[in-house]
Structure 1
């Protein structure tokens, strides 16, 4: 009955915002961050300040990136991603706010301008000085071939994967866009987020307090379950395939 109720909530809503966390991507084989066996149980995060200050830390960070140690990229979207993409295409979902850095929403067919990335994107790099985008395949050739730590081809500045690291400021533009979308929605659908990482985890609460309905689909309980209108502790791909069938 819970899946049927979620389907009705989506059908009755005029503007849905989907908020996703690591749980939607674990079904694609991408590890999450904090659970046993997750990324941070295997390696310590490199803080932004250390990356900027230390060539040794930059070397370590890029070695992780090009070895695929974190496992954040190179996977395919799963049924949950494709179901969300169908809801976007149908005009039901106005935007996808994501804590993920894996680019899988875009790969599943969600237009770039519909995806709001709160923690950046691991599939490319940017210059910390001028903001120029750099493709990882190009940087990898120089790093592996000549041992060059990436620097900006335009200004010579430090280049870093386009993720938001510990100690790095949250991106102002995406945060502002996310707030606008949250305050305009009448249903916030959370998929696969533990809702413990703030400020991002504050957006579903903001939607609820602004009068929107709140639905949470996550395998484990979250602190926000008590205020949600509907909670499903279930597999995201199965749930979303049921509520957003291929005919949507």
Structure 2
């Protein structure tokens, strides 16, 4: 059996582990599955922190958002406050390393669970945004999509002086705010039909569109390996691809700070900071 096919793999010293990852990627044609841990070095927090278990906040569910005008007001108040941090975030060295590996053929495709658009900004414009993207808004009534920047200008006009500099940024781009402040927030409707606007992302309790899932399965099935970067794999939307790869005896490598639900299926498991680790991997593969 190939060494990469043995699940539950553990690396030795960091240098040795990186060399093993380099050998895996040197086969070319890998698929990268990225999570929030890849974006923390860009200043965007994740839900679970370094341990992979702690949740720094409870996300709004699709049912809450669609079922309550008050819930939508709270969401947009927090999101409007946090939007400048998301809009101003820039890809870090990890995103750029992945893009360099894509351009040299070591990585064939990228699937990201992140909604921050940083893979696209780094040059990987074909990255599949599994959970959608915060930079787009969709009307739940007429299904028209538009740019989040356009909505931000409208919300600013409706709520001048509302933003609080220094508000704590939460995952998915919103911010912590006191309830009384949110009560007076004015939300904007669709300019075409007056319908309810929602960020073009998959909320908790909402299903990832099936065609998107099937496309990701096809990418994994055609890959030489699956490399997970910065995901605790705590939710099924990402874990299912690791399970599929393992069933097909496709080598799985996981680089994440903290444990993941996929550790028992991985041939290689590294607990390292993503930016420096992937930058070094790209250098060793001549993609630096």
TM-score by length of 2: 0.78
Where in structure 1 do 4 or more consecutive aligned residues deviate above 4 Å?
Answer: 40-43, 69-73
Q: Does 1:177 align with 2:215?
A: yes
Query: What are the equivalent positions in structure 2 for 1:95-244 lying under 5 Å apart?
Result: 95-111=109-125, 114-147=126-159, 148-244=186-282
- Greater Cα shift, 150-159 or 160-169: 150-159
Task: Please give the alpha-carbon distance, in whole angstroms, between the structure 2 residues aligned to 1:134 and 1:93.
Answer: 31
Moved more, 236-245 or 100-109: 236-245
- Point out where structure 2 has 5 or more consecutive residues left out of the alignment: 1-15, 160-185
* Count of residues in correspondence between the two structures: 244
Q: Relative CO higher for 1 or 2, CA cutoff 8 Å, sep ≥ 6?
A: 2
- How far has the Cα of 1:128 moved from its partner? 1.7
Is the contact between residue 64 and residue 70 of structure 1 (CA under 8 Å) also seen in structure 2? no
Counterpart selection for 2:81 from 53, 59, 67 = 67
Which of the residues 29, 33, 42 maps onto 1:28? 42
State the shift of 1:71 in Å: 5.5
For residue 12 of structure 1, give the secondary structure of its aligned residue in structure 2: coil
| Cα gap change, 1:68 to 1:37, in 2 (>3 Å) | farther
Cα deviation, residue 136, structure 1: 2.0
Out of 10, 13, 17, the position equivalent to 2:31 is 17
Determine the C-alpha separation between the residues in 2 that align with 1:199 and 1:115: 16
The offset of 1:32, in angstroms, is 0.2
Q: Which of structures 1 and 2 has the bigger CA Rg?
A: 2
Residues 120, 164 of structure 1: 8 Å contact kept: yes
**Could you tell me which of 20, 32, 46 is aligned with 1:5?**
20
The unaligned stretches of length 5 or more in structure 1 are none
In structure 2, how many angstroms separate the alpha carbons of the residues matched to 1:54 and 1:229?
45
Distance 1:75 1:169 in 2: 27
* Counterpart Cα distance in 2 of 1:46 and 1:235: 29
The one of 50, 64, 77 equivalent to 1:50 is: 64
What CA deviation, in whole Å up to 9, does each residue of 1:195-242 have, x standing for no partner? 111132110121121121111101112232222111111111111111
Matches of 1:71 and 1:32, distance apart in 2: 14
Give deviations 1:136-189, integer Å, cap 9, x for gaps.
222122223235523222233211111111222222232111111111112000
| Compared CA separation, residues 70 and 165, structure 1 to 2 (3 A) | farther
